Amino acid sequence: MELKRLQAPLSDEDVLQLKAGDNVLISGVIYAARDAAHKKLVELMDKGEPLPVDLQGQIIYYVGPTPAKPGQPIGSAGPTTSGRMDAYTPRMLEHGMKACIGKGLRNSAVKEALIKYKGVYLAAVGGAGALLSKRIVSSEVVAYPELGAEAIRRMEVKDFPATVINDAYGNDLYEEGARQYRIE
């Protein structure tokens, strides 16, 4: 598994160099959003209204951080279960999102949309929220403050670690891993 450095936001070329199993370190601006925010964004898309953030090339981290301690930009910031965003992810990719970070499996519609729109699904280590928060340099709510921890946040990250699970070529690290260790 290769270690690759990514600078957010991403281009198609950035995404197409990634393969399932690659470990990445992300630096730049990413956005935090969970299911409540995704629902609001897709509703705006359905109405043809402008979004509160430009999704072109963006990475969305499925996280609902805890409150920041004094002097820190954010509290614990571990990934949430990605399947809760499956209903919205194809639309987010269609509108320019290039990557999403969470934990757990994705459905076939998401995997197909990753291929169609040249995107990747990345996993962050669940249970490591306190450690992951140390890679977040700044954090500010940019939309839907009424959602509390689920508000959309603009976060600057430095060397944020993740692993490519689903790439733009249809590969799935979870399926490959299961095949590799299956006892016949």
> pLDDT tens digits, residue range 147-161?
999 999 999 999 999
Three-class SS state of 123: strand
Short-list 184, 162, 161, 136, CA closest to 30 = 136
Residue with tokens 């160099």: 17
According to the model, what pLDDT value does residue 131 have?
87
Assign a CATH topology to domain 3-181.
Answer: fumarase (3.20.130)
What are residue 153's phi and psi, to 5 degrees?
-120, 140
Q: Is the pLDDT of residue 1 over 70?
A: no
Residue-wise pLDDT for 28-75, tens only, equals 999 999 999 999 999 999 999 999 999 999 999 999 899 999 999 999
Residue-wise pLDDT for 114-147, tens only, equals 999 999 999 998 888 888 999 999 999 999 999 9
For residue 8, the tally of other CB atoms under 10 A from its CB is 20
- Decide if 165 contacts 173 (C-beta within 8 A): yes
Short-list 3, 51, 59, 49, CA closest to 29 = 59
* Bridge partners of residue 51, in order along the sequence: none
